[in-house]
C-alpha cells in the first residue's frame, strides 16, 4: 500500500458507518493510524465511564431516555469538528454532514454473525437472532430520533464497500485512493 500524507493546510474528516460485524471499528482504527489522525468512536461505554455508571446502567436508561443516544451522537460530531479525524459509528455518515468522505461498509447477515461469533464467542444461531433484533431496534430508534433510515445509505455514502470481498487493509487502500483523488492526500511512494 502506498504511503500518503494529508496535504498541508488541509483538515480531513472521514465518516465510516456500517452495522455490527461489518468491520467498522477495525477499518476506522486502521485508517486513522494510516492517516495519523484521531479516531473518534465515542460510545455508551465511554459515556458510562465519564458518568461513573456501569455500561448496563447506561443501556437500561437509554431504553427510556433519548438523551443518552442524543448525547453520544452529538458529542461524536462535536469531537470530529475539532480536528482531522476518522469518525466510526453506525450513524457517522448521516451525522457528520461536514465529512470530506463518507464510507459505508456492508456485509451479509451470515458473515456479520460469524465475525461477531469470532470476536465474542457464543452460539451462531443465537448471535444471528440477537443481531437481527438489534438491527431492527437500531433502525427504529434512528428513525424515531433523527428520521434516519440506516438502510438507505445509497445517496448518502460516497463509497460503499462490501467487506466480504476485501480485507481491512484493502478497504483502507480503497479509501486512501479515494481521498487522494479528492485532493486531500499526496502520495509519497
The pLDDT-based confidence of 2 (bands split at 50, 70, 90) is: low
User: Percent of the chain beyond pLDDT 90?
Assistant: 83
Contact 164, 107 (CB under 8 A): yes
As a whole number, mean pLDDT of residues 91-104 equals: 97
The pLDDT score that the predictor gives to residue 1 is 44
As a whole number, mean pLDDT of residues 32-52 equals: 93
For 112-133, the pLDDT digits (tens) are 999 999 988 999 999 999 999 8
Cell of 37: 489522525
SS3 of 41-85: the string is: CCCHHHHHHHHCCCHHHHHHHHCCCCHHHHHHHHHHHHHHCCCCE
Alpha carbon 32 to chain centroid, angstroms = 12
Contact 80, 38 (CB under 8 A): no
Amino acid at each position: 500500500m502506498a504511503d500518503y500524507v494529508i496535504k498541508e493546510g488541509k483538515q480531513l474528516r472521514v465518516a465510516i458507518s456500517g452495522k455490527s460485524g461489518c468491520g467498522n471499528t477495525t477499518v476506522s482504527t486502521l485508517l486513522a493510524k494510516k492517516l495519523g489522525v484521531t479516531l473518534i468512536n465515542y460510545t455508551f461505554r465511554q459515556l458510562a465511564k465519564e458518568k461513573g455508571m456501569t455500561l448496563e446502567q447506561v443501556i437500561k436508561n437509554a431504553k427510556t431516555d433519548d438523551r443518552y443516544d442524543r448525547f453520544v451522537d452529538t458529542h461524536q460530531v462535536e469531537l470530529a469538528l475539532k480536528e482531522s479525524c476518522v469518525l466510526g459509528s453506525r450513524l457517522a455518515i448521516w451525522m457528520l454532514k461536514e465529512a470530506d468522505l463518507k464510507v459505508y461498509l456492508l456485509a451479509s447477515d451470515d458473515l456479520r454473525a460469524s465475525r461477531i461469533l469470532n470476536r465474542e464467542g457464543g452460539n451462531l444461531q443465537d448471535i444471528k437472532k440477537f443481531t437481527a433484533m438489534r438491527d431492527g431496534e437500531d433502525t427504529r430508534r434512528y428513525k424515531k430520533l433523527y428520521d434516519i433510515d440506516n438502510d438507505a445509505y445509497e445517496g448518502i455514502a460516497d463509497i460503499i464497500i462490501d467487506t466480504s470481498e476485501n480485507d481491512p487493509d484493502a478497504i483502507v487502500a480503497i479509501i486512501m485512493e479515494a481521498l487522494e483523488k479528492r485532493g486531500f492526500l499526496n502520495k509519497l511512494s
